[in-house]
Structure 1
Amino acid sequence: MDTLNFLLLLLGIHGALSDFTYYDFNKTIGLVFNGAADVTDCGEPTEFVDMPDNDVASKLAQQGHTETTDVFTTVETVGSNASDDQIAIHEGLFGHLLEYQIGPRTECRNRLRLTPSHPSKAGSVWYESRVPVLRGFETTFSWQITDPSVECTDHVDKTFSTQQHRSCAVHGGDGFAFVIHGDPQDDSALGGDGEHLGYGGISNSLAVEFDSWTNVDTQQSDDVFQDHISIHSGGPFSPNSSNETTALGYWRATDVADGKVHTAKIQYLPYVETRYFELMTANENLIPYLKDNGEGRRLGTLAVFVDQGIPEDRPLLTIPLNLSVLLNLRQSLAYIGFTASTGRKWEKHDILSWEWCHTDGCQGDASERIRFEVDNEHTSVFEM
């Protein structure tokens, strides 16, 4: 199918199949922005002009000493304050991103930027109206994470003042999450920065996190080095967090922050889907939520699909769960949206498109509805 016909099909069937759809974010009617979140295009950085600290450079530095050497460590942004060519040829290059992509610098459709590539930022974007979630839903969105921070360390001989060697690691942070919540802050809810991914501290919430940074030292958890997806909740009365005490089931590794455009589908079914049994994961944190809650509120299934897993109907991560037990929602309605954060490492967290359907979910094949040409010269890894 050629691109024109594909887009016509997309435009022709979408309105009847979803509650709302943002093909891009040239228009943001119905969305509420908090913290560092904003809308931007792909031009040279001019966004966030209303932010009082916009002129603060995305750079950190620290200094250490040994008997024979001084150690200078700097952290800068790939593609912004650092030279990509110079970084790429360092012999000591290491880290979770041996290959990386900087953000596009050409015109493209507007996108939600949950955080800029600055340290210690947090942002959230919510759909302004609460939506029904307990009887099932399906949401599909595309994301792209670019311009990660690079940390370079120079070891300098004290006696001769010559540089002995330099090592660099390209690794941004911290990640983003899709969040459902009934927090009293309503559409102004925003969690902490750094390890909290923008949702840590939001109570009565469920977060599907897309984690790009390891926080073992601060979380005292089994957080892992590679990019991964996991599901977290503190239940109906406690704040959420990204540590292992709130993890529902076990994480699954997947590329999150490699600079490419990815697509995710998150689906809640108000029944146990036997087709996904072999792919399910569970842990002791799930036990309180594995029960029925009256007629029409039975044990259900939460499934997360990524990229090629969407047309193949093969979730990357799925858990048994009764959402009506996990969350205490007024009128069975919840706020939905995205959060993200940066810490000592940073990157741009962008949402490029978003679709939401409730009850029976979005009818038809997702591959016939999702716009894959989401950017100039940047296409989804989703194969058609």
Structure 2
Amino acid sequence: MTGEERLQSPTIAEDKKSVAEVKDDPSKTEPPSDSGVSSKLDATDKPDQDVKPPPTTETSAPATKDAEPVVRSTATTSATAAQSNDDPVNPQDFQGEVQTTHDLPTIETLRKIETYTVLDHDGKSHTFKSLYAGRNSPRRVLIIFVRHFFCGNCQEYLRTLSASITPDALLQLPVSTFIAVIGCGAPELINSYIQETGCPFPVYADPTRRLYDELGMVRTLALGPRPAYMQGKSVAHTVISGVVQGLKQVKSGLVMKMGDQRQVGGEFLFEPAAPTLDTPISTPRSEEDKKLELAHEDDKPDGHADDPKVEEKRVTWCHRMRTTRDHAEMPELMEVLGLDGTGAAIKDKKRWEKALQTRKGTGLSMASQMSRMSVDTTHTTGGGVKA
């Protein structure tokens, strides 16, 4: 060891001892005399304040050509982002097509949400179950969940639906069948929504989106491929249409109450839980019983679970949207409902052929049983049996 090394060694030993003492006893705040050792301690025990966090990306509107533009104020954007961060069911956004499922809702889920309320155009509340299993409801009900009330895509869907599936066509089915529509905006916009779409079926509102959440519908801004029901309408057309409708509501104060622009919907068919579509036969009651029932009719909510007259229903077929234009096409809906035909054809033969061949939903409706019922009825009224 050289003389220079012998002179330096005590200093290095002292510095090492100081490092050990500081680490073992945090109460000692005196740093070692050597500035180089102090720098090492600072680097070891203190976070690096010069390291900048990685830049965050804006996710409120995906910057892709397949994303639908969002029209709203800065305050609304912040509120929506905060809501999305706190929403465990619906993450903030998705790039591209959402990988959701089309599993049928369980009985437990239906029982949980049957008392959730929806609002009609007058703001009156109705239980969700009353839409498909009330005392006066049809035996089969297709409930269509649309997006916000300014969505041009869903409006085109309802226009095509209204032209292909009319109430008169549903009345021709051997089992009573009907359609109801639910959106996620304010109920005050329902009348203008019906006027804009010409929808002949009742429209309700679920501003809380609780039904969307519980039934597994998700949130996205991805457009996806153009469906046949769009009838050749461009993205610009649907966006401008929604903006114009919003501007009309500035004076009413409803311009920002159309609903969550990221929420997408789906279609759910409710049918009798019994494996047969035979009309249930009720026991005749006396006139006194009927009077008592009428006297207490207003005391019971629609679709009360304990009401023996309410037929139990379940979802036999459903489809959840994966993009903002992913509603089930008309040929599939008509097939599921048991209607003849495929709907009004469009000029774009390629898209129409795809609509005829593609099936998006999951489940098995009772349309085949209804077809057999129609055949049996025709044979019965066909003039008797030959000898």
**Normalised-by-shorter TM-score class:** under 0.3
Greater RCO structure (CA 8 Å; 6+ sep): 1
Instruction: Kindly indicate which of the two structures has a greater share of residues assigned to helix.
Output: 2
Which one has a bigger Cα radius of gyration?
2
Instruction: Kindly indicate which of the two structures has a greater share of residues assigned to strand.
Output: 1
TM-score, length-scaled by structure 1:
0.24
